[in-house]
Structure 1
């Protein structure tokens, strides 16, 4: 008689038999996905707040203000005195939506409120894929270096070597596009911490030497 199958929606996998299902639920992968799911759910009850410069006791200041929107679970203060920020956690998700729709001015102090985004952990499979990509890139770089050396050794003068090296390492359209995208992603990542920041290419990241 075939054992009954059980489907784990969290991990999107099918297990056969209660014993196998129990082992899966107590396993590392399931626990990791469960933790990540809880963290993502918690993030929906949080807001990210900047504009606390000059406030003597920001935690009390924020508590007195944001308790008007709903019950608070916790307030964490980060950064330094010159550029501090806070993560305000409500007990429910509804107050977050209300906070994000409003502009927050308190006694002439402007608070910048954004949704809180939790970092997504890298799975074991993703790490392995990333390591393979890194290894492939190293192999590619080694081949490129060897090819460049052959070309340079064939040059008649130092000037020719410099020109050949520049031509050999010149970025193609795909590389240029990729580096622009990296700058854009870094700008998005750092904007919550440093307002109006913009990451730009500079030096060797532009000419292909880096």
Structure 2
């Protein structure tokens, strides 16, 4: 489902994507380790039986170390698979060898699809983004996939966007379909969002 994008959101998205393209690989790798360390210390993540996460794309803070650590802790990790209508289906993470190339340069889990509602079974939901404001409104890539998924997550569930430090606390233009998250994880730590 295509969404009409505000000019302010388009401009901010372009700016943030350009900044990400300029990040050295060493910074991306260091950020991945730091973010994983912070999240793995959070009680909400430590006591979660099921964690909804994602496989990072080029330029995003890496999720590889986090996915491996969650699996090693015995967590059930579910990952998204993009459906033709832009919504997200989910499947269980079976390790790096269980990931297949998909559209838009994504890697998706090869396992049995669990349905779009599977995200509602997660005790912790980790999502990508380009920025987040102090209220928890995140800027994604513009397809609305994660806003739809977050709309299925029960109130009170731990939700967190993974970002670089400079992307936390950014003024994000708000639209009616935007679904806020409760936390931001960046290399410098975790930050509670909203009131």
The TM-score with structure 1 as length reference comes to 0.21
Structure with the larger helix share? 1
The TM-score with structure 2 as length reference comes to 0.23
Choose between structure 1 and 2 for higher RCO, CA contacts under 8 A separated by at least 6 residues: 2
Higher radius of gyration, 1 or 2: 1
